[in-house]
Amino acid sequence: MPLATNTDRTRLMAVHGAKSPGRALRSLRNELDRLLPIDVLTTHYPDTAGQVLLNVAFTRAMRSVLDQAAAARGQRPADFLARAVVEAVERAARTRTRQLTVQLQDLLPEHTPEDVLACAARVLLDHRRPPSGPSGVADDQRRSAAHTTP
């Protein structure tokens, strides 16, 4: 089975066909468990319901803890885990938003809102600009020109 790494080599990607995303994850788990110690498999794109699917390998002890926590809340383990993951992602997003807001507010005593906005726009545009080619000279010239002010 062909596997590809992402740019920082922290993730493996595979294309695996099946009748559904859930079946693809289960089948992929069965094949990869013999080869690699993988904790989590996930779909790269959301399914028809807009959900990204996870396939998580738990130890027996962790499975027991999960089952007990779900039972205490009257939920199925899969539903309990899904809700916990969604809540954790939402908490992390709120935390990042608060941190960014504080950092931006810290700039306002020394800079006008217009300057902060213009600088943020330049940084974002530079970050999203694809490289111009192997030399990168044209890209460097554009970046220098974008940061000069009259």
**Does 128 map to a domain?**
yes
pLDDT value for 127: 84
Whether the pLDDT of residue 145 is over 60: the answer is: no
pLDDT value for 131: 59
Q: Is the dihedral of CA 39, 45, 48, 49 positive or negative?
A: positive
Domain that holds residue 120: 111-150
**Does 23 map to a domain?**
no
**Does 83 map to a domain?**
no
The tokens 């990204």 sit on which residue?
52
Q: Which pair of tokens denotes residue 65?
A: 């803890």
**Does 133 map to a domain?**
yes
Q: How confident is the model at residue 102 (pLDDT cuts 50, 70, 90)?
A: very high
β-sheet bridge partners, residue 55: 41
Whether the pLDDT of residue 52 is over 80: the answer is: yes
Whether the pLDDT of residue 134 is over 70: the answer is: no
**Does 125 map to a domain?**
yes
**Does 115 map to a domain?**
yes
- Domains in the chain, number: 1
Distance from C-alpha of 87 to C-alpha of 1, rounded to nearest angstrom: 34
pTM of the complete model: 0.60
**Does 14 map to a domain?**
no
**Does 138 map to a domain?**
yes
